[in-house]
Amino acid sequence: MRAESGRTKSLWHGTVGDLSRPTLESDARADVCIVGAGIAGMMTAYLLARAGRKVIVLDDGPIGGGETGRTTAHLSDALDDRYTDLERMHGADGARLAASSHRAAIQRIAQVVETESIDCDFAWVDGYLFPSGRDGEERLWEEMEAARRAGVAVEMAEDPPYEPFGGSMCLRFHRQGRVNSLKLLDGLALAVERCGGRIHTGTHVTAVHGGSPVRIETASGATVLASSCVTATNSPITDYVVTHVKQAPYRTFAIAARVPRQSVADALYWEDADPYIYIRVQPGESHDWLIVGGEDYKTGQKDDDAERLDRLAGWTRERFPMVEAVEYRWSGQVLEPADGLAFIGPNPDGAENVFIITGDSGHGMTHGTIGAMLLCDMVSGRENEWSKLYDPKRVRIGAAADLARENLNVAVQFGAWLLPGDVPDETDIPRGSGRVIRHGAHMLAVYRDDAGEVHQHNAACTHMKCIVNWNDLEKSWDCPCHGSRFGPTGDVLNGPAVKPLERPS
Ligand SMILES: Cc1cc2nc3c(=O)[nH]c(=O)nc-3n(C[C@H](O)[C@H](O)[C@H](O)COP(=O)(O)OP(=O)(O)OC[C@H]3O[C@@H](n4cnc5c(N)ncnc54)[C@H](O)[C@@H]3O)c2cc1C
Q: What is the mean pLDDT of the chain?
A: 93
- 313 CB under 6 A from ligand 1? no
Quick one: which of 461, 460, 478 has its CA closest to 469?
478
Q: Among 174-188, 269-283, 392-406, which stretch is predicted with the lowest mean pLDDT?
A: 392-406
**Cα 218 from chain centroid?**
23
Q: Which residues of 355-381 are buried (b: 16+ CB within 10 A; e: fewer)?
A: bbbbbbbbbbbbbbbbbbbbbbebbee
Cα angle at 471 between 466 and 477, to 5 degrees? 40
What's the confidence (pLDDT) of residue 116?
Answer: 98
Range 211-216, long-range pairs (CB < 8 A, 24+ positions)? 211/351, 211/352, 211/353, 212/352, 212/353, 213/29, 213/353, 214/33, 214/351, 214/352, 214/353, 214/354, 216/33, 216/35, 216/58
Rounded Cα–Cα distance for residues 43 and 185 (Å): 8
Rounded Cα–Cα distance for residues 140 and 9 (Å): 35
Quick one: which of 252, 257, 299, 310 has its CA closest to 277?
252
Q: Is the predicted pLDDT of residue 150 greater than 90, yes or no?
A: yes
- Does the domain spanning 419-494 belong to CATH 2.102.10.10? yes
- 422 CB under 6 A from ligand 1? no
Q: Residue 499's pLDDT band (boundaries 50, 70, 90)?
A: very high
Rounded Cα–Cα distance for residues 235 and 44 (Å): 16
- 65 CB under 6 A from ligand 1? yes
What's the confidence (pLDDT) of residue 403?
Answer: 65
What's the confidence (pLDDT) of residue 166?
Answer: 83
What's the confidence (pLDDT) of residue 413?
Answer: 66
What's the confidence (pLDDT) of residue 1?
Answer: 44
What is the residue-wise DSSP string for 321-372? Answer: TT--EEEEEEEEEEEEETTSS-EEEE-TT--TTEEEEE--TT-HHHHHHHHH
Rounded Cα–Cα distance for residues 36 and 232 (Å): 5
Q: Residue 439's pLDDT band (boundaries 50, 70, 90)?
A: confident
Q: How far is the CA of 38 from the centre of ligand 1 (A)?
A: 6
- 62 CB under 6 A from ligand 1? no
Q: Which CATH superfamily is domain 13-71+182-244+340-404 in?
A: FAD/NAD(P)-binding domain (3.50.50.60)
CATH for 122-176+246-333, among 3.30.9.10, 3.30.70.920, 3.20.20.80, 1.20.210.10?
A: 3.30.9.10
pLDDT tens-digit map of 308-354: 999 999 999 999 999 999 999 999 999 999 899 999 999 998 899 99
Rounded Cα–Cα distance for residues 422 and 220 (Å): 36
- 184 CB under 6 A from ligand 1? no
Quick one: which of 473, 345, 505 has its CA closest to 8?
473
Amino acid of residue 366? T
What's the confidence (pLDDT) of residue 240?
Answer: 79
Taking the CA of residue 69 as reference, the ligand 1 atom at the shortest distance is 29
- The domain limits of the chain are 13-71+182-244+340-404, 122-176+246-333, 419-494
Quick one: which of 88, 8, 73 has its CA closest to 38?
73
